[in-house]
Structure 1
Amino acid sequence: MKGMGSKGWMSSLLMLCAMVILTACGSTAGNSASSGHTETSATSSGEEKKDVTLTFVASQNWVNKGSKVDAELIEAFTEETGIQIDLQVVPDDQYANVLKTKLSSGEVPDIFMVGAGSGAYKFLPEKYFADLSNEEWVSRYAPYAKAGTTINDKISGFMTWNVDGWGILYNKELFAQHNLQVPKTMEELMGVIDTLKAAGMDTPLYMVGKEAWYWAIWFSQFGSKAAQANPGLYDKLNNQEMKFADVKEFETFLAEFKTLYDKGYFGKNSLSNAWDSSYEAMGTGKSAMIMMYQSYQGEVAEKYADSKASEWEMFPIPLAGNDMFSHSAGGIMRVAYKDSKNLDSVKRFFDFLAKPENLNAFYDGRSDLQANPSFADVAGKPSQAGKTILANAPGGQGLDMEYGLLHWDNTIIGKYIQELMLGSKTPIQVLEAIDKDRQKLFDAQIR
């Protein structure tokens, strides 16, 4: 892509993410600010700063998930510095539009959260993201965190996340009870589901169908396999040298995905299944499989202590010949608005969060992010899913489409896939709709 060096960025990101995944799996170790002026008086770490309120906008599932750790750290920061933080939480399916509106209207928050990797470009980093390259904590970043937060050769975000990926998480005990093996093909997956349905399980594979973005996550995981079959695919899609509709493997994946839905393998009324209901379905054994991220099993174990969820394992989605594990570029990062009048205070907040004791407190409160923390000096706690998915992925690993492609929108793409399931779109029409949306953004030069 012109103007941002996408090919070099993509190559280094893929290399670093691959390195860290292999290492992690074996390790156990307010007021809005839109002014163009920055603070003129520096504050020392022990000096209180009165009458400063930072606006901080975040998506609902990105903060205080499973605990109140973000709120607790904000409170501790205010007690130490006197700086207030107005945390504004937006529903997940509205967040991207709300943030874009704030940016375009000039009501830019001092701090906002975005996905790392290519997904950050749609929020115009050159215009809005502060350069954090010289901050002390950058030297402590894990390789994937440094790669994922680097935009145009500058560190553009403060990340406390986890490089993760999605696959089919399965209840090992239920598989053993029915003499089932890990499926490696679409046909084998259907055989597993048929066996479980014959044994009285109505929903062997739980689908969080109510959430549009969740359908897109399924598709995103197929990117690595499609790229293996089409060398340079991500660069070509990002440089407008190919379209989604040109990739026959994408059409095959969506067709097989539709087959699973049509056969009722996701259960009755799967389009009404909510996220929160998935914990009960898996924790009580009503379902044996779910497409999830690696640390999800820990969340189930906390809610259903007798589920033996910590022993569950994971395999890649075996549709359209997929035998690869796709992972993120490191997840989510906090961005400092470059023209905030409170930029020094924002940097002070990031310094506070980067203290070892505060990083440990954060990760202790976020069991879903513990497998491979963003900072090298925080010990990781890999899940059983994380340890096993690579063993079940003989094709290797790569970056998923959400983090590897420009102008990927889970919510919009997921809605197209929901339309596919309901019969109002064909697989090729889904791909053409994605291409049309991306072309509009390329034409508008929103990068």
Structure 2
Amino acid sequence: MKKAALMLLAIALIASVLAACSGSSNNGVSNSDSNSSTTNNGNTGNPRDKVTLSLLVDNNPDSIATAEKLVEEFQKKYDYITVETDIRPGGSEGDNIVKTRLATGDMTDVFFYNSGSLLQALNPDTNLLDLTNEPFMSNVMDSFKSTVTQNGKVFGVPTGSSMAGGWLYNKKVYEQHNLQVPKTWEELMSNLKALEGTDVAPIIGSYKDTWTSQLLVLADYYNVQLADPSFADDYTHNKAKYASNPAALRSFEKLEETVGLMNKDYLATTYDAGLRKLAEGEGAHYPMLSFAISAMQQNMPEAIEDIGFFAQPGESADTHGLTVWMPGGAYIYKNSPRIEEAKLFLEFIASVDGVKAMSEVAAPIGPYLIVGADMPDSVPQVVKDILPYFENGNNAAALEFVSPVKGPSLEQITVEVGSGQKTALEGAELYDRDVEKQAQQLGLEGW
């Protein structure tokens, strides 16, 4: 009986051990290993809980398409993260919504917004996550970083390609009149004068859409900075004025010199009509941002290869350079409860794969600002005309991206100067008064 009892006890012990082993192993894998799972991209680690990120974008169709494509590709890479997109209006209404949501703590985890002066108005140092030391920021070119920086901290990554500010021109008109692409303002004026009295307007004006009147002044900023490298900082701190700084005043003087060289109906011509006039050769030049190329590709594709681009010339051909408009950025709300996942999303946006995703739904209208991200070969020649200004380093961000000071009435003032109602000096003086209100609202020192 003792033997039997001992045998039963041994059998029970063996069964107990076997049961324990069975519960703690899985085909020879330890219990701690069996709880691990293969996550995205073949990485092994602890199982990921499902996470939902919120994203706010404006209602521009290109913005929505870009956001949707980025989300689609990002979720393939991180299948445990779902990104839900919220749409806001554009313009001043959208600006107010962003400011209100930040002020009330109701902001999404990530949001897309402007870079430059409009971003500064959001007080990013208080509301946005500092990305300065994130490893993925090494992918972002310094020229963009400068437009999303406050108090030495960097807050965003680009959500598209850059834009160029300069002159679109009709290459067929140039061939017919034996004109050469100008590299100095004197050469450009010579081209314009050569077209006077012909059936081709030297310059296309589209002042019905008053915002287009600003381009000639704004696109001259590269030349301003070249002549006075400290202008943006001095301007921000009320130490420099357009009317009293010779380099800045020159931008208004160039606009004044074009009076009488536009199409006769320039006050009634819209932006869309201006593009048609350029495509059809009714006008030779159109001071414009390169985003117009997208509209031309869509609405008049047969003419796109007839269009070229050059930067607004200065005084010397050796320093001929480009004023650049930066893309908007993606930002992380400082108080987001999902900071790590939000960082992964921005890391993807700031990668070559992220750029590839964006380019599938929105053709680039200028170089990308992500290291290693090239423009596709399929872009038209007019976009490729912009590349040399980046390759040789002769470019500068537009003033509104390096200074928060930009007056709301510039487009009305440039209409008056461009139509001969006011002189360049009068326009510059008006604009200097116009910017004071905004600078004071921003609480800038020296105002």
Query: Alpha-carbon deviations, 1:364-392, whole Å to 9, x = none?
Result: 322134x4223223223486446556879
Is 2:130–2:155's contact at 8 Å kept on the other side of the alignment?
A: yes
What is the match of residue 24 of structure 1? none
What is the match of residue 245 of structure 1? 243
1:177-326 equivalence runs, <5 A? 177-183=176-182, 188-193=187-192, 195-196=194-195, 198-201=197-200, 203-261=201-259, 263=260, 265-294=261-290, 296-297=292-293, 300-307=296-303, 309-310=304-305, 312-318=307-313, 324-326=320-322
What is the match of residue 31 of structure 2? none
Q: Which structure shows the higher strand fraction?
A: 2
- For the residue of structure 1 that corresponds to 2:252, the secondary structure is helix
* Cα shift at 1:288: 2.5
* Cα shift at 1:242: 1.9
Amino acid aligned to 2:175: A
Task: Compare relative contact order (CA 8 Å, sep 6+) and give the higher one, 1 or 2.
Answer: 1
- For the residue of structure 2 that corresponds to 1:276, the secondary structure is helix
Amino acid aligned to 1:427: A
What is the match of residue 415 of structure 1? 412
1:37-436 equivalence runs, <5 A? 47-49=49-51, 54=54, 56-58=56-58, 60=60, 63-64=63-64, 68-74=65-71, 80=79, 81-91=81-91, 95-96=94-95, 99-100=98-99, 103=102, 108=107, 110-117=109-116, 120-183=119-182, 188-193=187-192, 195-196=194-195, 198-201=197-200, 203-261=201-259, 263=260, 265-294=261-290, 296-297=292-293, 300-307=296-303, 309-310=304-305, 312-318=307-313, 324-328=320-324, 330-341=326-337, 343=339, 346-354=342-350, 356-369=352-365, 371-381=366-376, 384-385=381-382, 388=385, 396-409=394-407, 411-421=408-418, 425-436=422-433
Query: Alpha-carbon deviations, 1:246-280, whole Å to 9, x = none?
Result: 1234334324413424x1x3323424433333443
- For the residue of structure 1 that corresponds to 2:121, the secondary structure is helix
Cα distance, 1:45–1:401 mapped onto 2, change above 3 Å: farther
Is 1:163–1:372's contact at 8 Å kept on the other side of the alignment?
A: yes
Cα distance, 1:190–1:379 mapped onto 2, change above 3 Å: closer
Cα distance in 2 for residues equivalent to 1:434 and 1:324:
26
Cα distance, 1:78–1:232 mapped onto 2, change above 3 Å: closer
Q: Across the two proteins, how many residue pairs are aligned to each other?
A: 393
Q: Which runs of 5+ in 2 are unaligned?
A: 1-45
TM-score (norm 2): 0.72
Cα distance in 1 for residues equivalent to 2:139 and 2:63:
22
Query: Alpha-carbon deviations, 1:128-183, whole Å to 9, x = none?
Result: 22122454532332343444444333330121333442111212222111222334
- For the residue of structure 2 that corresponds to 1:63, the secondary structure is helix
- Give the greater-gyration-radius structure (CA): 2
Amino acid aligned to 2:357: A
Cα distance in 2 for residues equivalent to 1:153 and 1:211:
37
* Cα shift at 1:190: 4.9
* Cα shift at 1:407: 1.2
Amino acid aligned to 1:408: K
- For the residue of structure 2 that corresponds to 1:380, the secondary structure is coil
Cα distance in 1 for residues equivalent to 2:128 and 2:232:
24
Percent identity between the two aligned chains: 21
Is 1:282–1:300's contact at 8 Å kept on the other side of the alignment?
A: no
Cα distance, 1:133–1:224 mapped onto 2, change above 3 Å: closer
What is the match of residue 20 of structure 2? none
Query: Alpha-carbon deviations, 1:20-52, whole Å to 9, x = none?
Result: xxxxxxxxxxxxxxxxxxxxxxxx9964336x6
Is 1:119–1:408's contact at 8 Å kept on the other side of the alignment?
A: no
Amino acid aligned to 1:282: L
More deviation, 283-292/165-174: 283-292
* Cα shift at 1:336: 2.0
Is 2:143–2:397's contact at 8 Å kept on the other side of the alignment?
A: no
Cα distance, 1:219–1:148 mapped onto 2, change above 3 Å: same
Cα distance in 2 for residues equivalent to 1:130 and 1:238:
24
- For the residue of structure 2 that corresponds to 1:378, the secondary structure is coil
Is 1:115–1:331's contact at 8 Å kept on the other side of the alignment?
A: yes
What is the match of residue 33 of structure 1? none
Cα distance in 2 for residues equivalent to 1:434 and 1:304:
36
Amino acid aligned to 1:206: I
* Cα shift at 1:414: 1.8
